[in-house]
């Protein structure tokens, strides 16, 4: 009798997993189609589309918030780099988050900064921040402000930056972000093009991988993009292309985007303030804020939108070793868990419309629980094999089919890149991207599945330490700190916590 | 379904997937190779066209047109010509050279662009429009207007609609004014300003004359555009001063900002400004800010007491602007020092000290 029960349970479990696989394949096909439609329309569009607005003062003014923690070596280069951006109206708000080094002093000396005594650094944000020690403005560059505050972590620094920012839109920048020279104009274009009555409250663009490319004065333009020689990095290039070009275009079209990357995003200050600013002490504060903005949209029954721009606007340095990649991915999974858990009331809640009924469940079942289901799937097959419950040939054929489906999806992302951006122009690079995309399902994905499952289990067990990572501003204007190779620099970033322990 | 039937389905799916994957690869490589070759050939052709003794360079330099210049070529030659001419335009060619470029483009590309404006592929249409705008090909007016007529009402075509209307205004065509109502309904303010910005001469004069009949969003954007383009005529001054009295607060703020940029006020408008300043904080702070800015530009004694009062305003931005304005007055420095030392309001003292510090730095550096 037990045998029968186990056998029935195994069969039912098998069906559930097959249903799950079919549903997720359906979601992927839908996203694939939405992305294909949009990118096919825009393929080979001339870059002069931006020139008409770039030269004018028509662009909306931006407050660029740059949190800094122990950045005395890089901060000056980073700020210089930002001061030279291709944009007409902006201010830079550097928030020194209680650095233990000379970050603030070096800023004050280098940019002739003087204390402003009575600037009211309050935007209406109903969230307490660590006290501000002083606010300075550069005498040489009136659009450069330094806020010196006590240490509270990246989210707290961003909140203070929001309080001090004077323009209606602010930009959040991650430390290891290398910008495209036209990043700002590309990202604000949807704001500039918003129809009457339509409000764009946040926009973000694609993030590419900088490893292997030559960064010039803190910027990386499409012409200088090169594919790294390291297989692990190439794999991440494919993964980023798929994640951004396929994952987000469809979601953005239906206003279901749950993540505006912290690496580089533009936000409407009023909305962020209303939504309560950045949540401190959380891992994925960028996703958490985006979800909260959706909550706010629904609460107000507004038509406001969160938009994704497919253009690559910034580049980041990817981990080059399994060890650091594992640390990064387990962390991302924990961040995802936190964001979803905190807003679990939205899942399948019709009050939150498409976000509640579609994108939250999608993130829960595919992004968060997907790896776990996958592991269960493998276990079911192995279990069935030993119980003599399955036809090995059928199982292996099905597995091969799904792996090839995954490969097709990834190769499709390479195709989309070629349609729209042509960043990888050497034929050799295309072949490498394609064959790595083809191989993804056979080695990279299983490894990632294990790490992500591990991350999920850690999150469920309540692991929280190592978070509140502080933004480093090193790549905008300078390379890694002297004597630190990319690997060690990445390790330092991964492990670093901006919050004093 | 038995196992062998399942296997059959699965293996068919595998075969289809493999086929698709290799089709993608084939397409990708084919596209990449063709695009690479094409780009190379266009670059080579463009380099030849750019050579000092090429018929194109001779024409652009002297206006002398050789027969070799008019040889018709395929799309490759057209693209090479486009690339060369756009590059020349971008590096600020002289006015004569620009005129020659426009004349030449009108002959060479008109027929092709006319076709492309109605092409099936969206990006072809958009690229053609961007080129029509760059090469100022006013002869394509009918084609653009026809395309506008073909567009449906759906929002999906708004990107194209916007570019079509912007192109009409860039080409200084009267017909662009007919589309301002549509534009006001569908486009963002920044897009509206992109439409208004290129307008000049008779077209702009007409717009200024008819401001009161324009949709409100267009009128507001017109004021901003006049400021950004730094247009200083009596008609503009009259419009701006009239807009100071508008019942639309947004219009008033923009007019004040534009007047501050204009740098002059008639005595009647000065009187109006003074009476508004006297209303104190009953006026919204963005408007107070602009009052302070304008008073700092026109520098009439009558505004001084108001500016001094505004230094203790409840808004930081107004305080800062008032201090900056007051410091520009004849005895501004002394007045600022006195405020920094003696003013009963702490905020006023602070902002005066900050302004003095900035002025001292500017004197030191500049």
- Up-side HSE of residue A29: CA atoms within 13 Å toward CB? 8
pLDDT of residue B243: 95
pLDDT at B1 over 70: no
Of A202 and A6, more confident: A202
B154 touches chain A (CB under 8 A): no
B24 touches chain A (CB under 8 A): yes
Given pLDDT bands bounded at 50, 70 and 90, which one contains residue B61?
confident
Average pLDDT of span B211-238: 94
Q: How far apart are CA A17 and CA A353, in angstroms?
A: 27
pLDDT at A406 over 50: yes
pLDDT at B366 over 90: no
pLDDT at B174 over 80: yes
pLDDT of residue A463: 60
Q: Lowest mean pLDDT of A189-203, A206-220, B18-32, name the range.
A: A206-220
Of B123 and A462, more confident: B123
pLDDT digits (tens, 9 = 90+) for A245-291: 888 888 888 889 898 887 789 999 999 999 999 998 888 888 999 99
pLDDT at A18 over 80: yes
pLDDT at B232 over 50: yes
pLDDT digits (tens, 9 = 90+) for A330-366: 999 999 999 999 999 999 999 999 999 999 999 999 9
A438 touches chain B (CB under 8 A): yes
pLDDT of residue A121: 59
Give the number of other CB atoms < 10 A from CB of residue A299. Answer: 12
Answer for the pair A369, A336: CB distance below 8 angstroms, yes or no: no
Of B204 and A38, more confident: B204
pLDDT at A50 over 60: no
* Residues whose CB falls within 8 Å of the CB of residue B202, separated by 6 or more in sequence, listed in order: none
pLDDT at A10 over 70: yes
pLDDT of residue A169: 95
A106 touches chain B (CB under 8 A): no
pLDDT at B123 over 70: yes
Chain B residues with CB under 8 Å of A400 CB are 14
pLDDT at B121 over 50: yes
Chain A residues with CB under 8 Å of B166 CB are 52
A118 touches chain B (CB under 8 A): yes
Q: Which residue in A58, A194, A397 is closest to B14 by CB distance?
A: A397
B21·A438 Cβ contact <8 A: yes
Of A214 and B25, more confident: B25
pLDDT averaged over every residue in chain B? 90
Average pLDDT of span B21-44: 90
- Name the token pair of A84: 């030279």
pLDDT of residue B93: 67
Instruction: Please choose, from the candidates B333, B330, B339, the residue with its C-alpha nearest in 3D space to the C-alpha of residue B356.
Output: B333
Given pLDDT bands bounded at 50, 70 and 90, which one contains residue B173?
very high
pLDDT of residue B49: 86
Q: Pick from A25, A123, A193 the residue to mutate for testing the B interface (most B CBs within 10 Å).
A: A193
Cβ-Cβ contacts under 8 Å between A and B: the total is 139
pLDDT digits (tens, 9 = 90+) for A220-247: 877 788 899 999 999 999 999 988 888 8
pLDDT of residue B57: 85
Find, in chain B, the residue whose alpha carbon is nearest to that of A60. Answer: B190
pLDDT digits (tens, 9 = 90+) for A163-197: 999 899 999 987 667 888 888 888 998 898 888 88
B18·A400 Cβ contact <8 A: no
pLDDT at A493 over 60: no
- CA dihedral (A198, A202, A206, A210) in degrees, to 10, reads 150
pLDDT at A416 over 50: yes
Given pLDDT bands bounded at 50, 70 and 90, which one contains residue B60?
confident
B35 touches chain A (CB under 8 A): yes
Average pLDDT of span B28-53: 88
pLDDT digits (tens, 9 = 90+) for A359-382: 999 999 999 999 998 888 888 888
Chain A residues with CB under 8 Å of B130 CB are 46, 48-49
Which residue matches tokens 């080579």? B44
Q: Which residue in B10, B21, B217 is closest to A408 by CB distance?
A: B21
Q: Which residue in A112, A116, A418 is closest to B28 by CB distance?
A: A418
Q: How far is CA A151 from CA A99, A101, A159, A312, in A?
A: 7, 12, 12, 33
pLDDT digits (tens, 9 = 90+) for B280-314: 889 999 999 999 999 999 999 999 999 999 999 99
pTM of the full structure: 0.82
Given pLDDT bands bounded at 50, 70 and 90, which one contains residue A481?
very low
Chain A stretch 250-289, residues whose beta carbon is closer than 8 A to a beta carbon of chain B: none
Percent with pLDDT over 70 in chain B: 96
- Would you call A297 exposed, middle or buried from its count of C-beta atoms within 10 A (0-12, 13-18, 19+)? buried
A166 touches chain B (CB under 8 A): yes
Given pLDDT bands bounded at 50, 70 and 90, which one contains residue A47?
low
Find, in chain A, the residue whose alpha carbon is nearest to that of B224. Answer: A58
pLDDT of residue A486: 36
B32·A193 Cβ contact <8 A: no
B150 touches chain A (CB under 8 A): no
A50 touches chain B (CB under 8 A): no
Give the number of other CB atoms < 10 A from CB of residue B6. Answer: 15
A59·B32 Cβ contact <8 A: no
Chain B residues with CB under 8 Å of A44 CB are 123, 127
pLDDT averaged over every residue in chain A? 83
Q: How far apart are CA A316 and CA A233, in angstroms?
A: 11
pLDDT digits (tens, 9 = 90+) for A422-479: 888 788 888 898 888 888 888 898 999 999 999 999 998 876 544 334 333 333 333 3
**Ordered strands of the A169-173 beta sheet:** A113-116, A132-138, A144-149, A90-97, A62-68, A169-173, A264-268, A200-209, A305-316, A177-179
Find, in chain B, the residue whose alpha carbon is nearest to that of A53. Answer: B194
Which residue matches tokens 């999974």? A333
Q: Which residue in B155, B194, B361 is closest to A112 by CB distance?
A: B361
3-state secondary structure of B349: helix
Q: Pick from A42, A47, A117, A413 the residue to mutate for testing the B interface (most B CBs within 10 Å).
A: A117
Chain B stretch 315-334, residues whose beta carbon is closer than 8 A to a beta carbon of chain A: 316-317, 319
pLDDT at A489 over 60: no
* Residues whose CB falls within 8 Å of the CB of residue B278, separated by 6 or more in sequence, listed in order: B306
Going from N- to C-terminal start, the domains of chain B cover 77-147+158-168, 177-262, 265-366
pLDDT at B361 over 80: no
B134·A408 Cβ contact <8 A: no
Q: Which residue in B24, B33, B319 is closest to A415 by CB distance?
A: B24
B316·A120 Cβ contact <8 A: yes
Q: Pick from A411, A424, A436, A439 the residue to mutate for testing the B interface (most B CBs within 10 Å).
A: A411
Q: Pick from B4, B11, B17 the residue to mutate for testing the A interface (most A CBs within 10 Å).
A: B17
Q: How far is CA A149 from CA A100, A114, A119, in A?
A: 12, 16, 15
Chain A residues with CB under 8 Å of B193 CB are 58
pLDDT digits (tens, 9 = 90+) for A84-128: 888 888 999 999 999 999 999 999 999 999 888 765 556 678 788
Chain B residues with CB under 8 Å of A414 CB are 24, 28
Of B19 and B157, more confident: B19
Chain B residues with CB under 8 Å of A43 CB are 123
Average pLDDT of span B73-84: 84
Given pLDDT bands bounded at 50, 70 and 90, which one contains residue B274?
very high
Of A238 and A482, more confident: A238
Q: How far is CA B15 from CA A397, A405, B12, in A?
A: 11, 11, 5
pLDDT of residue A40: 84
Chain B residues with CB under 8 Å of A59 CB are 190
pLDDT of residue A498: 38
Q: Which of A168-172, A208-212, A412-416, B341-345 is most confident?
A: A168-172
**Number of residues assigned to chain A:** 501
pLDDT of residue B50: 84
A118·B33 Cβ contact <8 A: no
A303 touches chain B (CB under 8 A): no
Find, in chain A, the residue whose alpha carbon is nearest to that of B4. Answer: A394
Answer for the pair B85, B101: CB distance below 8 angstroms, yes or no: yes
pLDDT at A483 over 50: no
- Name the token pair of A85: 């951006």
pLDDT of residue B13: 93
Given pLDDT bands bounded at 50, 70 and 90, which one contains residue B55?
confident
**What is the nearest CA distance from A47 to chain B, expressed in angstroms?**
9
Instruction: Please choose, from the candidates A102, A88, A101, A92, the residue with its C-alpha nearest in 3D space to the C-alpha of residue A66.
Output: A92
B353 touches chain A (CB under 8 A): yes
Q: How far apart are CA B274 and CA B124, in angstroms?
A: 56
Q: State in words which class domain B265-366 has.
A: mainly alpha
**What is the nearest CA distance from A338 to chain B, expressed in angstroms?**
37
3-state secondary structure of B232: coil
Tell me which DSSP letter residue A244 carries. I
pLDDT at A488 over 50: no
Average pLDDT of span B265-281: 94
A427·B32 Cβ contact <8 A: yes
């Amino acid at each position: 009798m037990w045998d029968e029960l186990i056998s029935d349970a195994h069969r039912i479990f098998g069906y559930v997993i097959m249903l799950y696989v079919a549903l997720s394949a359906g979601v992927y096909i839908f996203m694939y189609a939405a992305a294909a439609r949009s990118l096919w329309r825009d393929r080979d569009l001339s870059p002069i589309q931006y020139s008409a607005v770039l030269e004018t003062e028509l662009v909306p003014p931006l407050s660029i918030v740059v949190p800094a923690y122990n950045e005395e070596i890089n901060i000056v280069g980073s700020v210089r780099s930002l001061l030279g951006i291709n944009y007409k109206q902006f201010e830079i708000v550097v928030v020194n988050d209680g650095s233990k080094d000379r970050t603030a002093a070096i800023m004050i000396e280098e940019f002739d900064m003087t204390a402003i005594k009575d600037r009211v650094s309050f935007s209406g944000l109903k969230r307490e921040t660590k006290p501000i020690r002083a606010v300075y403005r550069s005498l040489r560059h009136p659009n450069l402000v330094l806020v010196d505050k006590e240490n509270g972590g990246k989210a707290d620094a961003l909140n203070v930056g929001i309080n001090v920012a004077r323009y209606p839109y602010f930009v959040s920048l991650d430390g290891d972000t290398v910008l495209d020279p036209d990043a700002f104009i590309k990202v604000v274009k949807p704001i500039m093009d918003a129809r009457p009555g339509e409000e764009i409250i946040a926009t973000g663009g694609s993030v590419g991988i900088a490893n292997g490319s030559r960064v010039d004065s803190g910027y990386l333009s499409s012409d200088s993009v090169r594919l790294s020689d390291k297989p692990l990095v190439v794999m991440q290039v494919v993964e980023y292309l798929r994640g951004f070009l396929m994952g987000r275009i469809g979601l953005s079209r239906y206003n279901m985007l749950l993540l505006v990357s912290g690496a580089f995003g533009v936000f409407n200050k009023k909305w962020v303030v209303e939504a309560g600013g950045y949540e401190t002490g959380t891992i994925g504060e960028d996703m958490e804020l985006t979800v909260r903005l959706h909550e706010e949209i629904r609460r107000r029954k507004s038509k406001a939108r969160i938009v994704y721009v497919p253009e690559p606007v910034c580049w980041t340095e990817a981990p080059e070793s399994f060890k650091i990649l594992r640390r990064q991915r387990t962390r991302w999974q924990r961040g995802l868990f936190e964001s979803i858990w905190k807003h679990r009331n939205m899942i399948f809640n019709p009050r939150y419309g498409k976000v509640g009924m579609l994108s939250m469940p999608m993130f829960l079942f595919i992004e968060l629980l997907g790896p776990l289901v996958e592991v269960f799937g493998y276990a079911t097959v192995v279990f069935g094999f030993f119980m003599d419950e399955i036809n090995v040939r059928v199982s292996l054929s099905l597995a091969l089919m799904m792996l090839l489906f995954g490969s097709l999806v990834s190769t499709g992302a390479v195709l989309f890149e070629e349609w729209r951006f042509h960043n990888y122009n050497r034929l050799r690079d295309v072949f490498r991207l394609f064959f790595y995309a083809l191989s993804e399902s056979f080695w990279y994905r299983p490894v990632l599945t294990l790490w992500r499952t591990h991350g999920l289990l850690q999150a469920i067990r309540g692991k929280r330490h190592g978070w509140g990572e502080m933004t480093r501003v090193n790549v905008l204007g300078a390379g890694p700190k002297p004597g630190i190779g990319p690997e060690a620099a990445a390790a330092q970033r991964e492990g670093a916590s901006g919050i004093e322990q | 379904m038995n196992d062998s039937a399942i296997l059959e389905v699965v293996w068919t799916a595998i075969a289809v997937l493999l086929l698709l994957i290799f089709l993608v690869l084939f397409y990708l490589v084919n596209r990449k190779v063709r695009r690479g070759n094409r780009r190379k050939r266009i670059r080579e052709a463009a380099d030849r066209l750019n050579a000092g003794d090429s018929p194109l360079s001779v024409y652009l330099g002297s206006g002398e047109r050789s027969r070799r210049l008019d040889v018709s070529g395929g799309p490759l030659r057209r693209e090479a010509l486009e690339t060369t001419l756009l590059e020349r335009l971008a590096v600020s060619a002289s006015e004569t050279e620009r005129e020659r470029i426009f004349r030449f483009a009108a002959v060479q590309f008109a027929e092709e662009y006319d076709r492309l404006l109605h092409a099936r592929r969206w990006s072809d249409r958009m690229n053609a429009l961007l080129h029509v705008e760059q090469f100022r090909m006013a002869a394509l007016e009918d084609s653009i207007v026809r395309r506008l007529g073909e567009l449906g009402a759906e929002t999906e075509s708004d990107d194209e609609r916007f570019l079509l209307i912007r192109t009409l205004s860039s080409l200084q065509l009267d017909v662009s004014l007919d589309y301002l109502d549509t534009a006001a309904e569908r486009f963002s303010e920044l897009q509206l300003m992109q439409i208004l910005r290129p307008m000049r001469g008779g077209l702009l004069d007409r717009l200024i004359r008819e401001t009161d009949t324009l949709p409100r969003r267009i009128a507001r954007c017109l004021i901003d555009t006049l400021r950004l383009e730094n247009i200083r005529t009596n008609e503009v001054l009259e419009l701006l001063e009239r807009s100071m009295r508008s019942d639309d607060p947004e219009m008033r703020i923009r007019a004040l900002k534009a007047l501050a940029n204009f740098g002059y006020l008639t005595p009647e408008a000065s009187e109006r400004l003074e009476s508004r300043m006297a209303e104190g904080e009953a006026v919204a702070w963005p408007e107070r800010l602009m009052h302070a800015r304008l008073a700092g530009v026109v520098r009439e004694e009558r505004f001084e007491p108001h500016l001094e009062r505004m230094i203790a305003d409840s808004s930081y931005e107004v305080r800062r602007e008032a201090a900056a304005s007051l410091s520009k007055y004849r005895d501004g420095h002394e007045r600022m020092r006195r405020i920094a030392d003696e003013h009963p309001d702490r905020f006023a003292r602070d902002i005066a000290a900050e302004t003095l510090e900035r002025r001292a730095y500017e004197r030191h550096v500049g």
